[in-house]
Each structure stands twice: as structure tokens, then as C-alpha cells.
Structure 1
Amino acid sequence: MAALRLVALLPFAVNRGIASLLGRLISRLPGEARRVTDTNLRLCYPDLDENQRRQLARLSLVESSKNTFEIALFWRHPDQGLRRIVAIDGDAPLRQAVADGKPIMILAPHQGCWEVLNFWLASEFGLHAMFAPSGLPEVDQLIRTGREHFGSTMYPTTARGVAGLVRAMKKGALTAILPDQVPDRRSGVHAPFFGQPAYTGTLASKLIRQTGAVTFLAWARRLPGTQGFEIRVRQATPVSADADLEAALTAMNADIARLINEDPAQYLWSYKRFRRPPAGMDSPYSQ
């Protein structure tokens, strides 16, 4: 908590500068983040040569460091995060769906600054979302305070919480889910992600089918230097709501991959996305 408080005191330009330096250091030293990033990029971008992968890994680790530092700042000062949004791209269909009173599902992968995206969704449309406690009460309170600053409604990650979210969505609420987060062993199935089998959560697809939600993907793209952020919104492939769960999750992962390819360096490649392989296969991170 002390480190979070210290980071929150830094001016944004200093915050960004220190984060960039730390990210460059992490990218050059042996460590878990670098190892996992290298593994993921080899799996997902096999056509890149060694120099290209090394460069992308370095850029990604710098961007991830920026994300960690800016989130620590924006949790305490959410208005700063919202003010730094300087451009919006592709939001017209989303606004039309909201105006029509339709339930909305936003798929928001670990791309760019997802907390800034949360602030924008909450301030523009009113956000209903699930919250999984970290087990650290002070940190959880800080996160909730930041996320609820603009009027978000948070639901616990329980059956009762899901039921509450479904009721809200059927009345036309907008929700956002991290669709690339590895679920527990009872809440997912394997579906291709960049051509690799990835254990993928089924909650988003089930909510879409139950509520008839119009589905979009969105992320907050980090602009160079201290320029701020650009919100990008993309319509999801219709098959992501297919009754065939495998087809729906395959389409969803393909949509996520297309979003990532808009700026691969801003994806969280240090996340162990393939840590639950199909039966009979070894985890790629154990090698």
C-alpha cells in the first residue's frame, strides 16, 4: 500500500517516466515477466523472427510497466484518468445500442489501460460489472473506490452476483468483462486463441445468450509520451452469441486477437494465458 500511495503522489509525467525506465530494465533482465512474455509471443506470433519478437517483448514490458504505474495513480485520482482521454474511435454503434435501450456487453481484454476504459464506460453510460476481491482489503477498497467514483455498480463474483447482473442487463444495463482472464476449472472450455488452445471463460458468452446483449470490444489505447488515451470500440462478430459454445468462444477469441493486433505491444503478454492446457499437454510455462 505504501508503494501505491507513493506512486499516486507523482505527477503524471514523472509517473510515466519512471514506469518507462523500470519497464526497460525488466525487459533486459532475466525474470518471470520476461520469460512468460517471450513464451507467449513465440506461441502467438510464430512468423516473427527472433529480433522482431525480442523487440515486441521489450515494448510490451515497457507498456505493462506504464499500465501498473498509471493504474496506481488513477485508482486514487480517477478524474485524472478520465481527463486524459483525448480521442474516441468507433463509438457510434455503441451509443446507438444504448439509445435503443438494449443490454450491452463490452469485452475488454488485457489491452491498453483497462481502468481508464472502465472510467469512460461508467461516466458515459453507467457500468455494471463484477468484482473479484484480491484478498488484500486495503487494495480492494482502493480499487472499488476508484471504479465506483463515476457511479459503477459492482457485483460479487458469486452465483447471486451473476443473477443480479443478469437482471440489470435484461433491463438494458451495460456490463464489461475481461474475456481473456483464465477462469477456474469449472468455468471454462478450451478454444483457439492465436491458434493455440486456451482455457476460455464461458461467462461472457452465457450472459450474451441469456440477455440478448449487443456485444462490443473496447480498449483504451495509450498514446505516446503524456498525450493521454484514445478509446477504441469495435463491434463483435455475431457468432460470439452462438448457442454452440465452442463456436461462440472461438469467435470471441478471434475478435480479441484482432483487437490485440491493432497494437500488440499494448497487450499484457506477461499474463499466463495458456497456463491450463488440455489434458495430455504440458504447460508451455513449465519448460
Structure 2
Amino acid sequence: MLRLIGCLPFVVNRWLATFIGHLVAAFPSEARRVSEINLGLCYPELSPVERRRLARQSLVESIKNTFEIALFWSRPNSGMQRIQSVDGGEALQAAVDAGQPVMILAPHLGCWEVLNFWLADHYDLHVMFAPSGLPEVDNLVREGREHFGSTMYPTTARGVAGLVRAMRKGAMTAILPDQVPDRRSGRHADFYGHSAYTGTLACKLIQQTGARPFMAWAQRLPGTQGFELRFRPAEESIADADLDASLSALNRSIEALINEGPEQYLWSYKRFRRPPEGKRAPY
């Protein structure tokens, strides 16, 4: 199915995704329920009507993301051709020119695959890859992500060690910082005023390598216009030796990025599914 979607022209891909997205958003579903719960927690200042509207917009954008990455995994050059502008790239380039390792922190916002392509095409990008367990899907993802020369590492201790070695030599890496990690790889930190189990890998890598952290996302432009890449320096205290302070700074940086385009965030993701001991998940 992913390869079939990847055969569609971009205009047809976007039209079909928008149509299906509005259908999905119009009817009750688990994704819509979770989105509304998350938005109630993270944007309590919005009215119920505004939160429902934002939840539905987010679902439409999520379907667009699914369809477009199916196309871009099959035809990576098509994704690169859709990048219209880059906002904030000067500071990123300055850090690279200074010989610093750079860490890109890209939450589930906009089209992260297009961002991956651009970074791999412009820099020495090293990233981790967690297999899905479906060889055909994994091969498709690898074909797309490695097309522009990125180096992939398994999500194992050996893979992390390889990534650290590359970063100490000045390589760039990119991490999805808002994924809920397993029980051994995270700690609770404030996220939009609520405790969220947050992965420690990004903060520990920054501390170990001295990497300069940047927040980034690929904003989906209206219609079929394409994408604008956006880069923002993360809070400096992400590098704090106190891990709790570092994680709080990480989540504040994620919040600031999401607030640039909340309708393009994956609100259907159960970000608060691992609450502190003695508390219940909101879902």
C-alpha cells in the first residue's frame, strides 16, 4: 500500500490525503479522542469548540503526513524538490562551520522525513533507526532515508556508541525527542504543565559530546506549495549537568516549536501514557 501511494503524483497524493483526512476527522475515533484529551491538557485556555477544531485539523495534517512520506520514501528527490525555503539555517550553518557537533531535535511536527532528507543532503548526518519488524517496510524506509547519504545506526548499545564516536568527530545527528521511551530510558519532566515520561538519550548525548542542539521542523505549506524548513536554537540549559533541569529545558524547547504550528503536531500520540507512580494515564 505504501508503494502504491508512492506512485501517485504529489497533487493527487495531497488531494486524496486531504479528502480522507476530513473523513477521518469527521467521525468519532480513538485518534480523535486522544487528540482532544491531549489538547485539553496542553491548551486549557482554548474553548472546547476550539480544541475540537484543532484536533480535527491535526488529524487531517497527520493523514497528509502519512501519504506524503509514502511518496517521499519511494521518490526521495520529489520530497527535496518541494522544499521552498529555510528559516533559521544561518545559525545552524555557523555551528557546523565552527566544527561543533550538532544535534537536531525534531518532534512529531510537520513532515520530519523531508527535514531528514535535507539534512542528509547538506551535512554529514548520522541517525538511529528502530526496525518495525516488517522487512518490506523497513527496506522502503531505509531506501528513502539513505538516498541522500545519511548513516544509520541500530537502536542498541553498540549503535549508540557508534553514534557518539561520529558526533565527537563533528558529525550531525537528529532525534525525535518527544517519543515515550521504555522504562529504562526516561524520566518524568514537565511538558505543558503536566508530568510526561521523557527520553534521556538526547540530553545525555549533548552532555557527552558537547553537541549544539537545534529544534527543527518542516512546516507544511497550504495546498501543494511544499514545505518551509525551520531551525531554532534550543534552550542552552539542555546541556545542564543536572538531568532533570536538562529534560525540563528540552520539553520547553519542544513546546515552543509546537506553538509555531500546533495544527501540524501529532496530538493523537499518547504522550502522557506513562504517568508517575500512583497516577493514572489520562486516556
TM-score computed with the length of structure 1 as normaliser = 0.98
Structure 2 partner of 1:236 = 234
1-structure distance, mates of 2:124, 2:63 = 29
**Identity of aligned pairs, percent?**
69
The correspondence of residues 193-272 of structure 1 with structure 2, limited to 5 A, is 193-272=191-270
Deviation at 1:26, TM superposition (A): 1.1
2:185 to 176, 187, 191: 187
1:9-46 Cα offsets, whole Å, 9 max, x none, are 11111110111111111111111111111111011001
Structure 1 partner of 2:46 = 48
Unmatched tracts of structure 1, length 5 or more:
none
1:275 to 273, 276, 279: 273
Aligned residues, how many?
283
Say whether 1:170 aligns with 2:168: yes
Determine helix, strand or coil for the equivalent of 2:272. Answer: coil
Deviation at 1:230, TM superposition (A): 0.1
1:208-264 Cα offsets, whole Å, 9 max, x none, are 000000110000000000000000000011001101001000011000000000010
Deviation at 1:267, TM superposition (A): 0.4
Unmatched tracts of structure 2, length 5 or more:
none
1:105-164 Cα offsets, whole Å, 9 max, x none, are 110000000000000100011210000000001100110110000000000000000000
Deviation at 1:54, TM superposition (A): 1.1
Deviation at 1:6, TM superposition (A): 1.4
Deviation at 1:199, TM superposition (A): 0.3
TM-score computed with the length of structure 2 as normaliser = 0.99
Structure 2 partner of 1:119 = 117
2-structure distance, mates of 1:241, 1:5 = 41
1:47-84 Cα offsets, whole Å, 9 max, x none, are 10011101111111100010000000000000000110
The correspondence of residues 140-155 of structure 1 with structure 2, limited to 5 A, is 140-155=138-153
2-structure distance, mates of 1:189, 1:178 = 16
2-structure distance, mates of 1:252, 1:108 = 11
